[in-house]
Structure 1
Amino acid sequence: MNATLVAVALSLFSAAAYAAAAVAQERLASRAPGSGTLRMLASGAWWCSVGLNTFAALLHVVALKYGPLTVVQPLGALTLVAAVPMGARVAGRRVGAAEWRGTAYTLAGLAAILVTASGSAPEDVLSASEALTVAAVTAGLIGLLARPGSRPGLRHATASGFASGVASALTQTVTVAATDRSGPLLSVQVVGVALLVAAFAAGGLLLSQTAYRGGLGAPLAVVTLANPMAAAVIGLALLGERLQGGAAGVLLALAGAGIASWGVVLLSRATPEPVREEEHPVAAVLALKPESASLEPALRHTPVPMPRPKSEPGHLTPL
């Protein structure tokens, strides 16, 4: 089987797992918006989301072994596409027309990107100095975007996307260096880069959890865009990855990126369709009570005739 097809298939399963984890994180953040890190560590639901993220990351790592960053990372946008119906299902509502349009634009843009980004399995890796430089620059950007005291929101989502994208690029270096090189499996370069991967992956998870306190749509959209952006810059600038088709391929990739970005924007702006009362189980129960409820006020306000006083002896009853 073609290595690129294997990478695409693994990326699809990874995106579905990431979407389930994002929905779980958003639900947890909405229920306890002011909870700190220590309180989250004591939550079983949070650890379930961590497990889903870990499973998705493992699939992502294997995908990076078979496909270049310019193929694997854009498929991460499918996380948002999968999270939309998942989130609607959990919330008990239908997916709106604007959400379906955003999904269609995102898929069309991804298709255009994959046509130009298809390439062979990765061979180049980041050197120790390149990995440290990328890590230092990314850490500085994350510090500026998520500085202490800043309000949780899209800046934290951007920082999370950068952290996840850099973690993916460093992960590819670890997998290729550990499996395709004749050197020792646990070299200083492999161990050092693996520690950086763990740090950026954990940071991206915590930053996304903070960003989801304001909702799932817009923060997840920003994470979805920032992640492949950071990884693509590293792949094209440092790993020797190229787009197929020359100048026409570059234009097609840019057009696909624009279409996919517009689809993500539509998904982030889409207003969730409210649940119809007749479809809600609570409304169905309440629908059984109008008759009994209407009888109570009628009984309450129905005038009761008062008995006429009897006439005492010696008094004449007026006519």
Structure 2
Amino acid sequence: MSPVPVAVALSLVSAVAYAAAAVAQERLAARGSTAGAPRLLASGAWWGSVALNAAAALLHVVALRYGPLTVVQPLGALTLVAAVPLGARIAGRRVSRVEWRGTALTLLGLAALLVAATGPAPDGVLSLPEALAVSGAAAALIGVLARPGARPGLRHATASGTASGVASALTQTVTVAVTDRSGPLPGVQVAAVALLVAAFAAGGLLLSQTAYRGGLGAPLAVVTLANPVAAAVIGLSLLGEHLRGGPAGIVLALAGAALASRGVVRLSRAAPPSGRPAAAVPSPGAGPVTGPAPRPRPSGPERLTAAGR
């Protein structure tokens, strides 16, 4: 049996866990968008979202051992597909028809990507110089996107997705090197790459928490798109991964990417900006009556008539 279906199954469960964590993070950000790190560290809900992220990351790591980046990373878009109905249920609303259409487009696009990208289990790893070069370039880009004073939003979401994609690529190097002891990386170098994985994973988590202050839909959509793009660039350029089917496979992959992107954008626009229900507005006449309604003040000729009475 091919190991790729195992990677797909693990990625699906990982996406659901990531979706639950994203919804929890967004609700935390909505309740206290100005709360600092000490406040978060004292929150049980925050640690619950961290545990969900950790479980999802562990499943993702195992999936990367059985499938290439070009297969595993696009499945991360299912995080948004799962987060939309989950967030709607928690917010007490129904999933709209536009959101269902966005979900369908995303799934069709992912199916096309999987057909084009399905390949053998990964066996290539980044050398230490390559890992350091990738990390340096990614850190510079993240620093520009999330520079101090920048308003939380899509730039932080792009930085979060980039950090998570780089962490996935580095994770694949660590898992292949650890499970294949004849690999080119000595133990000390594997440990160094593992530290980089931890740094980028933690950075991605904190950046996403900041991005969710502006709501769940659009930031999560950007994270979902930036993550596989960053990982695919590394996988195709440095790890020797490739698409199946030659030119036809490239066309199919581009069509799938376009469909998935359209679905993700539609999902991000369809969901309420904050992922939470709107404030209740009292209906006319609601509430206790405290006295007679004030009479309108006469003006113009009516005022003169009233004065002569």
Would you say same fold, with TM above 0.5? Answer: yes
Structure 2 match to 1:131: 131
Q: Deviations over 1:7-51 (max 9, x none)?
A: 000000000000000000000000001111221111111110000
Partner of 2:91: 91
CA distance in 2, matches of 1:175, 1:256: 28
Give the whole-Å Cα distance in 1 for the aligned partners of 2:184 and 2:170: 18
Deviation readout 1:118-168 (Å, 9 max, x if unpaired): 011100000000000000000000000000111101000000000000000
Alignment of 1:18-29 (within 5 A): 18-29=18-29
Alignment-derived partner of residue 45 in structure 1: 45
Q: Report if aligned partners of 1:178, 1:186 keep a CA contact under 8 Å in 2.
A: no
- The offset of 1:185, in angstroms, is 9.4
Report the Cα distance in structure 2 between the residues aligned to 1:250 and 1:224, rounded to whole angstroms: 21
Amino acid in the other structure paired with 1:26: E
Alpha-carbon distance between aligned partners in 2 of 1:25 and 1:58, rounded to the nearest angstrom: 19
- TM-superposed CA distance for 1:172, in Å, is 0.4
Runs of at least 5 residues in structure 2 that lack an aligned partner in the other structure: 293-309
- Alignment-derived partner of residue 32 in structure 2: 32
Q: State how far apart, in whole Å, the 1-side matches of 2:25 and 2:82 are.
A: 15
CA distance change for structure 1 residues 275 and 143 in 2, over 3 Å: closer, same or farther? closer
Match of 1:73 in 2: 73
After superposing the two structures, state which structure 1 stretch, 80-89 or 178-187, moved more.
Answer: 178-187
Q: Residue 196 of structure 1: SS of its match in structure 2?
A: helix
- Equivalents in 1 of 2:86, 2:161: separation in Å? 21
The CA distance in 2 between the partners of 1:74 and 1:271, in whole Å, is 21
Aligned pair in 2 of structure 1 residues 77, 238: CA closer, same or farther (>3 Å)? Answer: same
Indicate conservation of the 8 Å contact 1:179/1:185, yes or no: no
The aligned residue for residue 268 of structure 1 is: 268
Amino acid at match of 1:160: S
Trace 1:245-260 onto structure 2 (pairs within 5 A): 245-260=245-260
Give the aligned CA root-mean-square deviation in angstroms. Answer: 2.5
**Post-superposition CA distance 1:38-87 (Å, at most 9, x none):** 21111111110000000000000000000000000000000000000000
Q: Please list the CA deviations of residues 91-110 of structure 1 after superposition, one character each: whole Å capped at 9, or x if unmatched.
A: 01000111111101100000
Offset, 1:275? 7.2
1:169 corresponds to which residue? 169
Structure 2: distance between partners of 1:274 and 1:24: 12
Higher-Rg member (1/2): 1
User: In structure 2, how many angstroms separate the alpha carbons of the residues matched to 1:63 and 1:255?
Assistant: 25
Q: Does structure 2 retain, via aligned residues, the 8 Å contact 1:69–1:232?
A: yes
Any stretches of 5+ residues in structure 1 without a counterpart?
Answer: 302-319
Q: Please state whether the residue corresponding to 2:255 is helix, strand or coil.
A: helix
CA displacement 1:153-189 (0-9 Å, x = unmatched): 1000000000000000000000000001336997012
Q: Shift of residue 2 of structure 1?
A: 2.0
Aligned equivalents of 2:78, 2:201: Cα separation in 1: 19
Amino acid at match of 2:88: A
Tell me if structure 2 keeps the 8 A contact 1:98–1:266: yes
Q: Which amino acid aligns with 1:255?
A: A
Instruction: Give me the whole-angstrom Cα distance separating, in 2, the residues matched to 1:53 and 1:183.
Output: 29
Contact 2:15/2:79 (<8 A) preserved: yes
- Separation (CA, whole Å) in 2 of partners of 1:9 and 1:269: 28
Aligned to 2:221: 221
Other-structure match for 2:147: 147
TM-score normalised by length of structure 2 = 0.88
Distance 1:91 1:229, change over 3 A: same
Q: Please name the residue that 2:180 is paired with.
A: 180
How many positions carry a matched residue from both structures?
A: 289
Q: Output the TM-score relative to the length of structure 1.
A: 0.86
Identity rate, percent: 74
